[in-house]
Structure 1
Amino acid sequence: MPRTDEAEFWFNAVYEAVREIPPGKITSYGHIARLLGEPKRPRQVGICLKHLPAEESGNYFHSGNVPWQRVVNSKGMISHRGPGSAERQAEVLREEGVEVQTDSMGEFYVDFTRDGWFPQELPSEVVGDSNTE
């Protein structure tokens, strides 16, 4: 079933916001939702990332240009989206220099105090940057 215009706008907004997370940094689903003005929609951010098309899909936004791996839950835990998904996300984050810990239950965690990215607004929305004169 095709997405409504509103849903398509939301998916695209999430993907654009996630693209602004710098390499080696991580943030939460909730923070992306807040940056987009919808603080009660962190689960919808997760749904968007769960349905991010594969790089070979030919879609404008895809897993090759949206750094999905840089978004985790509010506890700093990598959420499971399917078999092996958390392990794959942890591996990609480690390749970017993010420190990923594994607890006694086999869950993967990142340290927001070390690698967190929590700006008050998206860098693309910052007005009056002195470097743009």
Structure 2
Amino acid sequence: MPSDAPSVEDPACQRRDALYMTLAQVPTGQVVTYGQLADLAGLGRAARWVGRTLGQLPKVSTLPWHRVVAAGGRLSLAAGTASGDEQRARLRTEGITIRNNRVDINRHGWRPMDHSG
């Protein structure tokens, strides 16, 4: 392997992989906040990093990026933009109600510990 190629132990790749593996587990019809996703992935208080990283996903990604919302259930992608409209459409398709640019976290928030054995 060339010396300039990232190694399997590259911390940036590990962080990104942890984020992606955690995001992939968010079930249909539920949402998670950027901060909660960072915490669940073992990334600490990295909500902004999560947002930036998800913003760089390729269009062909199958990860459920649309299930990630800002604190309090607020939709951070602006209505009227391609990504904002796509997020709203995907969430509605999954049965998630959006009111005043927010998702009801109490109703739709993912609580992975509730589903553990």
- Give the TM bin, normalised by the shorter chain: 0.7 to 0.9
Runs ≥4 in structure 1, deviation > 6 angstroms?
none
TM superposition score normalised by structure 2: 0.81
Structure 2 partner of 1:48: 53
What 5-or-longer segments of structure 2 have no aligned partner? none
2:39 aligned partner: 34
Verify: 1:109 aligned to 2:102, yes or no: yes
1:52–1:113 CA distance, 2 compared to 1 (3 A): same
> Once the 2 structures are TM-superposed, how far is the Cα of residue 87 of structure 1 from its aligned partner?
1.9
Q: Residue 40 of structure 1 aligns to which amino acid in structure 2?
A: R
The aligned counterpart of 1:90 is: 88
TM-score (norm 1): 0.72
| Count of residue pairs brought into register by the alignment | 110
Cα 1:7–1:67 change in 2 (3 A) is same
Please tell me whether the aligned partners of residues 32 and 67 of structure 2 are also in contact (alpha carbons under 8 angstroms). Answer: yes
> 1:1-133 to 2 correspondence within 5 Å?
5-55=10-60, 62=61, 64=62, 66-80=63-77, 83-101=81-99, 103=100, 108-120=101-113, 129=117
In 2, Cα distance between equivalents of 1:23 and 1:30: 19
User: Secondary structure of 2:91's match?
Assistant: helix
Alpha-carbon RMSD: 2.5
Identity, in percent, stands at 34
Unaligned stretches of 5+ in structure 1? 56-61
